[in-house]
C-alpha cells in the first residue's frame, strides 16, 4: 500500500468513526419503529427479530402525518424561496455599493441573527394575531425565510467576495449591462453553489421547526409535521414505536434534500468564476 493510499484509508476511517455518533440515533429510530411490541419489551435497543409496519400505519393515521407533511413542505419551500431571493439580492447590493456606512449596515443585519428567536417571536405573534394573520402557512413560510436572511446575507456575500471578480463586473458594464442584468446573468449563476447550500439549510431548519409553528398555528388543519408528531404523546397513551415512526417520516425529506444539495454543490463548485 502506497503512502497516498494509507492517507486515504486513514482519512476514510477517521470520517467513519466521527460519523458513528450521528448515525446511531437514526439506526435506533429504524429499529424501534419497525419492532413488534414483544421485541421492544424484550430489548428496546436490540435488533428486531420480526419486522412490522403497524406502528408506522398507526402513527400515519392517528397524527394525520400525510396532511402535516404537505403543510411542512409548503412552508419550507416558501421559506427557501424567500430566504434565497432576499439573500442573493441583498448580498449583491452590498457587494456593488460598498462604503463604510453600508458595511456597518450589513454587519448590523448579520448580527441580528445572534438574537434568540424567542425575543421577538411573542411580539410578532401579538401583531399577527391582531391582524388575523395567524394559522397561515404563507405567513409562517415568509417568517421562516426572513428570519434566515441575516445568515444568508453573510453566506452569499462571502461567496461573492471569492468568486465575483471586479474584472467580470467591469467587462459586463463596458458591454452595456445594467446592474439588474449583471445580477441576473452573472451574480446569480456564480452564486448557485452557495444558494443551493443556503436553500438546503433553510429547508431543513424550517421543516423541523416546532417553536415557530406551535406559536403561530393553532388550527389542526395547518399543523406541520413536528406538531402532528407531538400529538402522539399523551398521558393516556405513549407509544415509543409510533413516535419513532413519526420521527422517521419527518426525517426522510430533510435527508433527501441534504443528499441532493451535496451533489449539486459538487457540480456547482466544479466551475470557475471566469466562465
Q: Are residues 46 and 57 in the same domain?
A: no
Cβ-count burial of 111 within 10 angstroms (0-12 exposed, 13-18 middle, 19+ buried)?
A: exposed
Q: Are residues 57 and 26 in the same domain?
A: no
Given this model, what pLDDT does residue 1 score?
A: 61
Q: Is residue 36 within 8 Å of 247, Cβ to Cβ? A: no
Given this model, what pLDDT does residue 275 score?
A: 43
Residue 274 falls within a domain, yes or no?
A: no
User: Is 233 in a helix, a strand, or coil?
Assistant: strand
Last residue in a domain, options 29, 52, 75 = 52
Q: Are residues 31 and 76 in the same domain?
A: no
Asked if the model's pLDDT at residue 235 lies above 50, the reply is no
This prediction's pTM: 0.85
Domain that holds residue 114: 53-268
Q: Are residues 69 and 182 in the same domain?
A: yes
Domain count, the chain: 2
CA dist list (Å): 26 to 15, 44, 94, 224, 251: 17, 14, 41, 21, 9
Predicted confidence (pLDDT) per residue in 124-144, tens digit: 999 999 999 999 999 999 999
Q: Are residues 43 and 103 in the same domain?
A: no
CATH number where 243 lies = 1.10.3720.10
Asked if the model's pLDDT at residue 175 lies above 90, the reply is no
Return the H-helix or E-strand segment holding 162.
Answer: helix 149-163
Q: Are residues 110 and 176 in the same domain?
A: yes
Predicted confidence (pLDDT) per residue in 52-99, tens digit: 888 888 889 888 999 999 999 999 999 999 999 999 999 999 988 888
Asked if the model's pLDDT at residue 215 lies above 60, the reply is yes
Lowest pLDDT segment from 26-40, 57-71, 246-260: 26-40
Asked if the model's pLDDT at residue 269 lies above 60, the reply is no
Asked if the model's pLDDT at residue 258 lies above 60, the reply is yes
233 forms bridges with which residues in the sheet? Answer: 238
34: nearest Cα among 19, 21, 46? 46
Residue 275 falls within a domain, yes or no?
A: no
Predicted confidence (pLDDT) per residue in 89-128, tens digit: 999 999 888 888 888 888 888 887 778 888 889 899 999 9
Q: Are residues 29 and 76 in the same domain?
A: no
State the Cα–Cα distance between residues 213 and 140, nearest whole angstrom: 7
Q: Are residues 45 and 129 in the same domain?
A: no
Q: Are residues 256 and 205 in the same domain?
A: yes
Amino acid at each position: 500500500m502506497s503512502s497516498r493510499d494509507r492517507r486515504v484509508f486513514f482519512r476514510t476511517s477517521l470520517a467513519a468513526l466521527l460519523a458513528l455518533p450521528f448515525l446511531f440515533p437514526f439506526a435506533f429510530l429504524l429499529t424501534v419503529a419497525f419492532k413488534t411490541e414483544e421485541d421492544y419489551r424484550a430489548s428496546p435497543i436490540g435488533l428486531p427479530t420480526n419486522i412490522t409496519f403497524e406502528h408506522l400505519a398507526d402513527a400515519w393515521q392517528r397524527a394525520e402525518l400525510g396532511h402535516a407533511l404537505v403543510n411542512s413542505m409548503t412552508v419550507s419551500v416558501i421559506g427557501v424561496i424567500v430566504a434565497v431571493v432576499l439573500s442573493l439580492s441583498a448580498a449583491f447590493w452590498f457587494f456593488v455599493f460598498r462604503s463604510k456606512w453600508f458595511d456597518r449596515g450589513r454587519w448590523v443585519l448579520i448580527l441580528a441573527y445572534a438574537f434568540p428567536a424567542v425575543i421577538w417571536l411573542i411580539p410578532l405573534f401579538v401583531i399577527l394575531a391582531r391582524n388575523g394573520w395567524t394559522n397561515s402557512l404563507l405567513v409562517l413560510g415568509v417568517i421562516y425565510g426572513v428570519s434566515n436572511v441575516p445568515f444568508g446575507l453573510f453566506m452569499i456575500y462571502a461567496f461573492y467576495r471569492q468568486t465575483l471578480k471586479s474584472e467580470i463586473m467591469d467587462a459586463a458594464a463596458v458591454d452595456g449591462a445594467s446592474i439588474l442584468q449583471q445580477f441576473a446573468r452573472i451574480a446569480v449563476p456564480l452564486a448557485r453553489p452557495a444558494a443551493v447550500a443556503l436553500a438546503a439549510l433553510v429547508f431543513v431548519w424550517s421543516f423541523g421547526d416546532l417553536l415557530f409553528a406551535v406559536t403561530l398555528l393553532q388550527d389542526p388543519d395547518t399543523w406541520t409535521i413536528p406538531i402532528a408528531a407531538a400529538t402522539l404523546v399523551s398521558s393516556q397513551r405513549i407509544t415509543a414505536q409510533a413516535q419513532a415512526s413519526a420521527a422517521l417520516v419527518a426525517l426522510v425529506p430533510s435527508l433527501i434534500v441534504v443528499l441532493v444539495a451535496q451533489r449539486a454543490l459538487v457540480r456547482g463548485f466544479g466551475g470557475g468564476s471566469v466562465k
